[in-house]
Chain A
Amino acid sequence: MSRSADYAVELKDIFFSYGSNSILRGVNLEVGYGEAVAIMGRSGSGKTTLLKIIAGLLRPEKGYVKVLGHYLQAGGLNSVKGRIAYIPQTLGLIEGESALYNVLLARAPRKPLRFITGLWGGDDVEGAVEALRLVGLNGVGRRRVETLSGGEKQRVAIARAIFQGAVLLLADEPISNLDLDTAEALVNMMVSLKLRGLSVISVMHDRQLALKYFDRVYVLDGGVLREAG
């Protein structure tokens, strides 16, 4: 195995700008399999932009992105399809639908007909219920997501990533607007996905939590990442 295959994510000298507004100016990052890494930085520093580049949603102007052994520039999302989960700041849940629906969504790419008709098999539903149970959401499967609390919604998003069988979890400030205890419990849960073999890259605002739970903490500043101690 080549050395670079040992990384879940490898960024080399990434440059990105929106028009003339240069955001990333030479970002380097290596995240191993089963590692959890936090990214901090002031608002507007480019954290979300960086996550989107790793997710294959944006293309860097310069540098290369290697995710799960594939170079993303060439094939876009296709080569790693379904193996990355991206939890955006707004969580990406479908309101008006149940928690279970939102978790099952992760299987829609493989079973499009079942998804469109809503006729899921027993094993699909069992798996989704099990994922909800793993994040501590017993018996809320039928609840509409907009009736759940902020922390519960975030756990639904994590359950979806688990059910998806994602290898890489990208989370954008998953604990904003939560009280400290709930936030800590969530971070703990997210980071413990490492035990299931996931790599986790999460944008964090709380420095203490980041340092306590993540293997490494980076700060994005002036368009480059540097490790925080």
Chain B
Amino acid sequence: MRLTLTMAVITAILAYQLGLLDPSLWAKAGVNLVRFIPELGVRWDLAGDALLALYETLLISLLGVSGGTLIAYMLAPLASPLLSPPRVAFIVRTVANAIRTVPAILWAVLFVILVGPGPKAGALALTLYTSGYLAKFFYESLEATNRELYDSLKVIGLEGLPLAFALYSHAKKLIISNILFMLEYNVRTATILGFVGAGGIGYYIVHYLNLLNYQAALTFVVFTLLLVILIDFTSYIMRRRL
């Protein structure tokens, strides 16, 4: 397997460059691990804080999904040459693609600058990112519709947004599955938005890490994992129902 060999060589070179091949590094990691294990444990007295932070995280991610989906629903028809003048379609497409090229966490930095730190910045960042991501997906599903369906709806007299919604409902399963994907993505991202001050549980994780209070930090990490698992499970159930 030439690909496997190539990857092995590249991995070795990169690991060497990054200093990962240094034996003393691994010795130090071992010592830290041994020292860290006795400290493992959940600080139940922080559970209240953690749950509140999770609630905020969930709000941020859900708003990102619902707001982003709504905006994408409106943007996608504008981005589709089937439903909108080619020049407008090109511009809207370019904008939607630009939005999704920038990672959500960088949008969060921008919104922290614009509206100040806190969950508002995070919610805006996820809404924006989600709208860019879903707009691209939605206009692709508009393009993919069967031409004869499009024709018969045109003849009925459908155009613009109602026509787009009819075509969306034709691609409903795929669309819902992508919205669920964004839900999972948003929840994961919302847990780290706090690293840049954009709200959510991530704020507490960095806060306690900076104080070298590993047990407290770990408590928030554990609660984060619970939320992620819960959302993935919910999404799995909903997907199966499609």
Contact = CB atoms under 8 A, between A and B. Distances in A.
Contact of A57 (B154, B157, B159, B161): B154
A40 B151 CA distance: 22
Contacts of A170: 155
A57 B147 CA distance: 11
A149 to B, nearest CB: 20
A223 interface: no
A108 B151 contact: no
Given A92-B148, A94-B149, A96-B173, A86 B155 contact: yes
B156 A106 contact: yes
A108 B169 contact: no
Interface stretch (A27-35, A76-84, A212-220): A76-84
A170 B156 CA distance: 11
Interface stretch (A109-117, A128-136, A176-184): A109-117
B165 interface: yes
A82 B156 CA distance: 5
B162 A87 contact: no
B152 to A, nearest CB: 3
B170 A94 contact: yes
B158 A109 contact: yes
A199 interface: no
B146 interface: yes
Given A81-B157, A82-B157, A88 B152 contact: yes
Interface string A141-180: 0000000000000000000100010000010000000000
A86 B156 CA distance: 8
Given A95-B170, A106-B156, A116 B151 contact: no
Contacts of B148: 88-90, 92
Interface string A46-81: 000000100111000000000000000000010001
25 contacts: A55-B155, A77-B154, A77-B157, A82-B157, A85-B152, A87-B152, A88-B152, A90-B146, A92-B151, A92-B153, A94-B166, A96-B169, A97-B169, A97-B170, A101-B169, A105-B153, A105-B158, A105-B166, A106-B156, A108-B158, A109-B158, A115-B166, A116-B161, A116-B165, A164-B156
Interface of A: 52, 55-57, 77, 81-82, 84-97, 101, 105-106, 108-109, 112, 115-116, 160, 164, 170
Give me the 5 closest cross-chain CB pairs, A-B, nearest first: A92-B152, A82-B157, A88-B148, A109-B157, A86-B155
